[in-house]
Amino acid sequence: MSVAPSASTQAAQNDQFGVRPLSPVMGAEVTGIDLSAPLSADRFGQIHRAFLEHKLLVFRGQTLSRDEILGFAGRFGPIEGHNVRGRDGQALDALHSVSNVDANGELSRTPHINANYYWHSDKAHYEVPSLLTLLYAVELPPNGGETEFANMERAYRAIPDPLRTRADSLRVINDFEYAMVNAGKVLNEAEKVPSVTHPMVRTHPETGARSLYIGMYTKGVVGMPEPEAQSLVAELMGHATQPEHLFRHPWQLGDVVIWDNRCLVHRAVKNFEITRFRRVLLRCVVKGSRAV
């Protein structure tokens, strides 16, 4: 359990509040904030505006309890549940760990939950997909293990015509089982959910910006033969994940990172000794609104 800072400490931190951009693609570090302390409406408003502008925010050096993590994430909206089952067969907790640990508790290149190594937007297989994801770094390898993000707004703007016009008119079929099978996971009956459709290009509900909305869950395109659909999705994902659209976050212990699932996709990077070092992050997801 973390200890709340004194009033004088909180005042000093408030004076130090700042937002430092991390790259021209996306991302900013928020300084002068202890997330274990209550946030005023004005201060949260500043954080929210920075979130919309930069799409990804980093808060370094945090020491948080489970309730404090959920309390901060919950300022953005309702905390999302999960249909993925853990090693015990139970649905994952709203706040759960993402790690390189397999079903037997051993370090593994193919842990129980392995989908985080593929490009995706969280909960894109839901009728109402997510708004925001929070990760909190608990254990890290000495090197590597970053998380990579692609700015799907930038990618959309860079699509050449007439392909962009074509994408604007399409709807995609997102399927949870399709994604999990490709990631090497066999679902039990309780985990299986129906496919959903979303626009291939969605409009951000708060900024109005347009972005590609595809990833590992995208099984097909409505009204298009499957081979043609998968070829188109692969072409667009290849375009979206070019270096000029990417940001890679180098983790430090105590980092809290939040990002906007409505305009970013992400993946963990397997560039460390996975069977030697633990990489454990706590994760929760905030429910969003229908993609339009």
The full set of domains in the chain, from first to last, is 7-287 (3.60.130.10)
Count of CB atoms situated within 10 Å of the CB of 76:
19
Provide the residue-wise pLDDT of the chain in tens; the chain has 292 residues.
Answer: 333 334 434 444 456 899 999 999 999 999 999 999 999 999 999 999 999 999 999 999 999 999 999 999 999 999 998 766 555 556 677 899 888 887 777 887 766 566 788 999 999 999 999 999 999 999 999 999 999 999 999 999 999 999 999 999 999 999 999 998 888 877 776 678 899 999 999 999 999 999 999 999 999 999 999 999 999 999 999 999 999 999 999 999 999 999 999 999 999 998 998 889 999 999 999 999 999 9
Cα separation, 164 vs 158, whole angstroms: 9
> For residue 220, what are the β-bridge partners?
173
End-to-end CA distance of the chain: 41
Residue 265's pLDDT is what? 98
The pTM (predicted TM-score) of the whole model is 0.91
Residue whose C-alpha is closest to residue 88's, from 57, 66, 112, 110: 112
Residue 166's pLDDT is what? 96
Contact 112, 87 (CB under 8 A): yes
Cα separation, 225 vs 248, whole angstroms: 35
Contact 29, 19 (CB under 8 A): yes
Paired sense of beta strands 28-31 and 56-59, if any: parallel
Q: Per-residue DSSP letters for the chain?
A: -PPPPPHHHHHHHHHT-EEEE--SSS-EEEES--TTSPPPHHHHHHHHHHHHHHSEEEE-S----HHHHHHHHTTTSPBP----B-TTSSBPPSSEEEESB-TTS-B-SS-S--GGGS-B-TTTTSSS-EEEEEEEEEE--SS---EEEEEHHHHHHTSPTTHHHHHHT-EEEE-HHHHHHHTT-PPPGGG----EEEESEEE-TTT--EEE--STTEEEETTS-HHHHHHHHHHHHHHHTSGGGEEEE---TT-EEEEETTTEEEEE---S-TTTS--EEEEEEEE-----
Q: Among all chains, which residue has been given the structure tokens 């004088």?
A: 8
Which phi and psi angles does 190 have, rounded to 5°? -70, -20
